[in-house]
A and B are shown apart, each in its own frame.
Chain A
Amino acid sequence: MSTLDINNIGEFLAHAHALEAEAASQYADLAEQMEVHNNTEVAELFHKLAEIEGKHIGKIDDKAGDTPIPHIPPWEYKWEGGQSPEAVVDMDAHYMMTPHHALRMSLKAEERAADFFQRIADNTTDEEVRSLSAEMAEEERDHIKWLNEWLKKYPEPENGWDEDMDPPMLQE
């Protein structure tokens, strides 16, 4: 895994803000997708996750205070592989997915986010960035614990969860 050097508080805040904003937007989009396909239980869950990420954006803005957050074009963030670490892999979405699958998607995203912030904390030369990034990594680890707890309520469904007796798209 490559090193990740962010040594400026503005740049750090821009990354943290974008990471949460992308996650919030993506959960909102996934919620809409599930609503369209009448998967109301998972839609509600994605709405909830979007709301939680929205609160995180507010927290970052509070931490920023008067510090200017520079605008960075989406392709110039220092994300591994070009995409925000907290972005879920939306190719894994399925119209019949269960809360278990949604929480698993979210868990992987939170793990990547925790790792991202920890790597910044481990590599930065800026004390303010180190402190804030370590704090953010800790917060993400709290979310991981919370998601793991939540997952206990939604065990993995048996094989065949995606079998549809009357699929909307079928080759005839």
Chain B
Amino acid sequence: MTAETALAPKHSPRDYKSDIKPVWCPGCGDYSVLGSITKAFSELNLDPENVAVISGIGCSSRIPAYTDCYGFHGVHGRSLPLAAGLKVARPDMTVLVASGDGDGFSIGGNHFMHACRRNVDLTYVVMDNRVYGMTKGQASPTTEPDWDNALTPGGSGISPFRPLVIALAAGANFIARGFSGDQNGTAKLLKEAIEHPGFSFVQILSPCVTFRPDQKTWKDDVHDAAVDPTDEIGRAARRLMTDDGFNTGVLYKGEREAFQPPIGEATATVADLEGKFAL
């Protein structure tokens, strides 16, 4: 008997990877996040045909191409409405949304808040490297104000966006932070996020080795959250407001019921809908 038989999941992590070779820079944290996602899917025993990975635009948003399940590489900042539409229409599917700090918090910032508020049963994974990597290194919403580089000499001077605090205030039902350097720990977080009902938000610190080589020190900065997850929103707020940005683990687990409207009878066929969009 081998590891593939005794009590092993139906599908190995490798089964969720497509044959397309990623074009990320070698050393990029997103490779590891892809590994965490496929490990979580495997441990959850999900059939690939019952999973969809939806994304917007950016380095991290390439993930649907690299996973072997349903996928949609959508419009910049618009991954969440696409995913919410899919989930309410097909509540039987597991829908994971992949984004980055620019796509998720700037271009898609408004959708982020309202996705938290609606609390559709989605898992939102934001690979945060505090920079726009794909467009060559501009400061993003989470960039430190004093990050000095060729495009923002002396730093932007702007206070960074605090996604976990915003998520809590807007109504997200599960809030966690992981680190790409801890692939297995992040896989565990993602499994828990997918299992938790409602909108789960997981920020994953994922260094950009090309434009932010300084982030290589993150492996020494991250630390396990000192206290257990809380379902008490006041405690969670205090905790997230005083957060140093490197606490990892589940930081809030709420009990709000997920939004799922009743599914009525179809009023049009797919062909009817396609007809409406025909030029």
B-binding residues in A (CB < 8 A): 13-14, 17-18, 21, 25, 29-30, 32-37, 61, 64, 66-71, 73-75, 77, 79, 81-83, 90-95, 97, 169-172
Contact = CB atoms under 8 A, between A and B. Distances in A.
Contact of B1 (A25, A33, A35, A64): A64
25 contacts: A18-B3, A21-B3, A32-B22, A33-B22, A34-B26, A35-B21, A36-B23, A37-B26, A69-B1, A71-B8, A74-B187, A75-B184, A75-B185, A75-B188, A77-B184, A81-B182, A82-B184, A82-B185, A83-B183, A90-B32, A91-B29, A91-B216, A169-B136, A169-B137, A171-B151
A119 B183 CA distance: 23
Contact of B25 (A64, A70, A169): A169
Nearest to A73: B43
Interface string B29-62: 1011000000100010000000000000000000
A82 B182 contact: yes
A68 B1 contact: yes
A91 B184 contact: no
Contacts, number: 95
Interface stretch (B77-85, B91-99, B204-212, B229-237): B204-212
Given A61-B2, A74-B43, A170-B136, A91 B181 contact: yes
A168 to B, nearest CB: 8
B263 interface: no
Contact of A94 (B1, B26, B29, B188): B26
Contact of B26 (A81, A95, A172): A95
A91 B216 CA distance: 8
A8 B26 CA distance: 38
Interface string B108-152: 000000000000000000000000010011000000000001110
Contacts of A171: 136-137, 149-151, 211
A91 B219 contact: yes
